[in-house]
Amino acid sequence: MTDGTFKGFGPKAMPFFKALDFHQSREWFAENRALFDSDLHGPIGDLVEVLTERFATAGLGLRGDRKKSLFRINRDVRFAKDKRPYNRHVSAILSPDGSKTGLGVFYVHIGLERCFADVAWWNPEPPLLLAIRRAITDRPGEFRKLLSTLKKNGLEFETEGRMKRAPRGFEQIADADLAEAVRNRHFVVQRVIDPTEIHAPALVDELVEFTLRAKPLLDWGRAIQGKVTG
């Protein structure tokens, strides 16, 4: 059990992942479940709840809880070639409505290979993605102002999932920066987390500070989303 404050991930968090990666056994996981709960699962639940409070104070419009916001460590292997039963990370999402399906979200990932946090418009539905792309091309000044603000804040868009060619209807965009932007399927900025940072309560302050720097992306997307859903 925890008292709801974030004290950091436990000292055996990464050794647990290394051992889990070696064994990938339900029997081994069951035997070491208490360590998973104390050093990983409990702390990420605490982190979500503390961030929810801090995000509310900062007016970021993002929330979650330790039951609904955490992703399972168990992998869905029904249709996967890789039949390993467990992920090598823990992760969680905070969104405007507290669900995992919301858009304009904060995501945190603590894992064996890497640790990071994202603020993202991830995989928006086709109507919203089209509206985002039209906002880029129809109001380029606003979009370039967003890019400039993010750059001043030490952030830039990630390129994961970017299309190799222009989407239909945007083939004639002449400006290179706009042509590149409309090829994005996601609009994401990221903060890499040094694994040594995860063990200290100060991680909360770092993630709040990152999300505040990324707030212009949230605001820009929400304005577009409001016109689509309104």
Query: Mean pLDDT across the stretch 86-95?
Result: 97
Do residues 137 and 170 touch, judged by C-beta distance below 8 A? Answer: yes
Predicted local distance difference test score (pLDDT) of residue 141 = 98
Percent of the chain at pLDDT exceeding 70: 98
CB atoms within 10 A of CB 31: 11
Q: Residue 179 and residue 137: Cα distance in Å, rounded?
A: 8
CB atoms within 10 A of CB 63: 22
Percent of the chain at pLDDT exceeding 90: 92
Q: Residue 131 and residue 206: Cα distance in Å, rounded?
A: 32
Structural domains of the chain, ranges and CATH numbers in brackets: 13-229 (3.30.930)
pLDDT at 188 over 90: yes
Query: Is the pTM above the cut of 0.85?
Result: yes
Q: Residue 149 and residue 147: Cα distance in Å, rounded?
A: 5
Strand ordering across the sheet containing 105-111: 89-94, 105-111, 115-121, 187-192
Q: Give the angle subtended at the CA of 197 by the CAs of 196 and 198, to the nearest 5°.
A: 95
Summarize pLDDT for 93-116 with one digit per residue, the tens.
999 999 999 999 999 999 999 999
Burial class (CB in 10 A: 0-12, 13-18, 19+), 113: exposed
pLDDT at 49 over 50: yes
Report the phi/psi class of residue 54: left, alpha or beta, with left for phi > 0 and alpha for psi in -120 to 50.
Answer: alpha
Predicted local distance difference test score (pLDDT) of residue 80 = 79
Query: Mean pLDDT across the stretch 171-193?
Result: 97
Q: How confident is the model at residue 1 (pLDDT cuts 50, 70, 90)?
A: very low
Mean pLDDT of the chain: 95
